[in-house]
Structure 1
């Protein structure tokens, strides 16, 4: 039996993170017929998608940051400045991101996560459905995962 020594590190290392991401993607692609079929296609790439709203002074009034991958839009952040909440900017940001994802990138679905104190009801009004609820994530807060068909 061969004895091996391992060293555990907890430092942030972007190069190792990127290497791990590459190796995980390779392993997932090898294991999944769907991901293998996507290899080398435009849908395989994760492409950033950003939408910004600027006020009359060119200050940030709101924004959406996400990405598209395969046939999915993933909304990571959506924020509207408190001064502009209730003016429909959140709906407009989301609709624009969905349109770009659907019409220019061929996305069929969208997904996002939100906490109970943020915007689950807002997203439901935009046609999203709750597919996962995680209580106490973080403690005392409930996280929701929601999805929507874009077609």
Structure 2
């Protein structure tokens, strides 16, 4: 892409080390103001790890809390530890901790090749689907009241 000049302002792919952080920080500050600081509530991350006997991470569930919601961002468990109940225990604990912080709901997204059935079995309901991906892949948006 070549730069686009619009009223003496440039639209470009070019950036430096601080551009990304500056844009994200400014968006965050705008959102905090626009929500009367509710965006910061409760504002604590919940990061759970599944570790083997040696202390190696074999899985993790990383969550953010904002607007009194628990957002399940990253959830992965190594193949050899799947279908043994660890995911259910981790998700239940994240929900408990989120509720303890004041969250009233949890939400996430997942793809057909990941775990929509797992979330549905854990009480999550699908409230949106993006079916524009190739090869029949769908992205599901799910939520659950805590």
| TM-score between the two structures when normalised by the length of structure 2 | 0.83
Q: CA deviation at 1:77?
A: 1.2
1:12 CA displacement: 5.1
Distance 1:109 1:13 in 2: 38
Corresponding residue to 1:52 among 24, 49, 54: 49
Residue 73 of structure 1 contacts residue 111 of structure 1 at CA under 8 Å; is this kept in 2?
yes
Q: Distance in 2 between matches of 1:120 and 1:77?
A: 14
Residue 24 of structure 1 pairs with residue 20 of structure 2:
no
Name the counterpart of 2:128: 132
Q: Does 1:10 align with 2:6?
A: no
Residues 71-91 of structure 1, C-alpha deviations (whole Å, 9 max, x = no match): 111111111111111110111
Contact 2:42-2:68 at 8 Å conserved across structures: no
Q: Secondary structure at the match of 2:70?
A: strand
In the alignment, which residue of structure 2 is the partner of 1:101?
Answer: 98
Runs of 5+ consecutive residues of structure 1 not aligned to the other structure:
none
Q: Aligned pairs, how many?
A: 140
Q: RMSD between aligned alpha carbons?
A: 2.2
Q: 1:26 to 1:85 in 2, by over 3 A?
A: closer
1:62 paired with 2:65, answer: no
Flag structure 2 segments of 5+ consecutive residues without an equivalent: 1-5
Question: Aligned partners of 2:54, 2:29: CA distance in 1, in Å?
Answer: 46
Runs of 4+ off more than 6 Å = none
Q: Report what 2:41 is aligned to.
A: 43
| Segment of structure 1 superposing worse, 90-99 or 141-150 | 90-99
